Amino acid sequence: MSIRPFIVAAFSLVAAFLLLPETSRSQAREYPNRPVRILVPYAPGGPTDQLVRAISERLALNLKQPIVVENKPGANTIIAAKQLTQSQPDGYTLFLASSASLAVNPLVYAKLPYDADADFAPISVVARAPLVLVVNAKVPVKTAPELISYINNQKGRFAFASNGNGNPLHLACELFKTAAGLDMIHVPYSGTAPALTSVIAGDTQMSCDIVLSSLPQIKAGALRPIAIVGPKRVSVLPAVPTLAEQGLPAHDAAVWFALVAPKGTPEPIVKRLNQELAAILSDAGLRDRFNALAMELVSSTPQEVTALTERERSKWAPVVRKYEIKVE
């Protein structure tokens, strides 16, 4: 039997293997040659949507191709995440993942249509949104110690609202509950707006929320800010101390966002996008614009996205286990 066919096949395999890096480099050199879309798991008009559109405008100029923002809200970011997994790993479909998408959903959902570790190629963190603990303005407290004393005196009748069971904003309140050893009732709603409405109406008394969402009601006097659930104060609420400043553990419950691509996206394309984002997110004017919206712009390496995800899961896993938080 001739071994020639086997030799030819072997050389073909070696040649194909050696060509792989050059193929990736070629893809990166040609990328992008058509519009790129970014899946955003939130409705149009909100602060996160505004951020993506601001980044997209600059990214389109740098890449010399249109960036199409597609809003795919619903199911705690799961709808958009699932759509990304059905996209080709070619850099033309990206997803604005949140800390819910990458860190919290895998902990609280019994079943997900995506694998947060196996299905995504991280590109960069893009922003952090700090949280504020707020109460109904008629609750007679102004500080975290006063709030803790008041809740203890309610003997299990004190209720807090969240924008959904297992959501990061729900877990932030559970983190406060654990740190202070409190007995509170959780009342989940179908979104931030109805949750805050319930606090303002007095149906519930407290919530943890992204600063920007609560800010108008804080300014109107309908909500009273008690503490920032993070490591530092925020510029739009400079008089509001952190929980740590008030004697509680220095937990950081900020919601964060990262741009990711489908797993298998060529590394040169991921690197190109990472470099472009780092330049865009370092712009002082853009940073100032979103600081005024209580959103901190940051960039990172892909590896730092993975490390941040792991730290967040380690932080939230004990809370999820303690209160047996599960979403079917």
The yes-or-no answer to whether 29-128+255-322 and 131-246 have a common fold is yes
Question: What per-residue confidence (pLDDT) applies to 1?
Answer: 45
Hey, where are the domains in the chain?
29-128+255-322, 131-246
Question: What does the alpha-carbon distance between residue 181 and residue 175 come to, in Å, rounded to a whole number?
Answer: 10
* Dist. CA 248–CA 106, nearest whole Å: 28
Higher pLDDT, 213 or 260: 260
Percent of the chain with pLDDT over 90: 82
What count of other Cβ atoms lies within 10 Å of the Cβ of residue 120?
Answer: 25
Bridge partners, residue 96, by sequence: 259
At residue 45, the pLDDT reads 85
Q: According to the model, what pLDDT value does residue 17 have?
A: 47
Location of structure tokens 């530092």: 232
pLDDT of res. 176: 94
How many helices (H) does the chain have, and how many strands (E)?
12, 11
d(CA 302, CA 175): 28
User: Which residue carries 């080709």 as its tokens?
Assistant: 88
* End-to-end C-alpha distance for the chain, whole angstroms: 60
pLDDT of residue 235: 93
Percent of the chain's residues with pLDDT above 70 = 91
Mean pLDDT of the chain: 92
CA distances from residue 65 to 24, 50, 60, 87 in whole angstroms, order as listed: 20, 20, 5, 19
Contact 99, 168 (CB under 8 A): yes
The Cα–Cα gap between 95 and 120 comes to 9
Would you say 161 and 207 are in contact if contact means Cβ atoms under 8 Å apart?
yes
pLDDT of residue 67 exceeding 50 = yes
State mean pLDDT over 239-261.
Answer: 95
Residue 22 has a pLDDT of 56
Q: Cα–Cα distance between 150 and 147 in angstroms, integer?
A: 5
Higher pLDDT, 12 or 250: 250
Tell me: cis bond preceding 113? Omega within 30 of 0 counts: no
Which whole-number Å values give the CA distances from 30 to 24, 124, 294, in the listed order? Answer: 10, 21, 37
Question: How many angstroms separate the CA atoms of 69 and 124, rounded?
Answer: 18
Span 81-110, pLDDT tens digits = 999 999 999 999 999 999 999 999 999 999
Looking at residue 236, its pLDDT comes to 94
Indicate the pLDDT class of residue 171, thresholds 50, 70 and 90.
very high
Collapsed DSSP state (helix, strand, coil) of residue 183 = coil
Summarize pLDDT for 271-321 with one digit per residue, the tens.
999 999 999 999 999 999 999 988 999 999 999 999 999 999 999 999 999
pLDDT (0 to 100) of residue 23: 57
Q: Which residues contact 177 (CB under 8 A, 6 or more apart)?
A: 160, 184
d(CA 136, CA 113): 38
pLDDT bucket at 26, cuts 50 / 70 / 90 = low
Beta bridge partners of 97: 258
C-beta separation of 144 from 206 below 8 A:
no
* CATH code for residues 131-246: 3.40.190.10
Q: Which residues pair with 260 in a beta bridge?
A: 95, 122
> 258: which strand partners?
97, 125
Given a contact cutoff of 8 angstroms between Cβ atoms, the answer to whether 301 and 267 are in contact is no
Considering the entire predicted model, what is its pTM? 0.87
Spacing of C-alpha 94 from chain mean position: 15
Residue 327: pLDDT above 80?
A: yes
Topology of domain 29-128+255-322, CATH: D-Maltodextrin-Binding Protein; domain 2 (3.40.190)
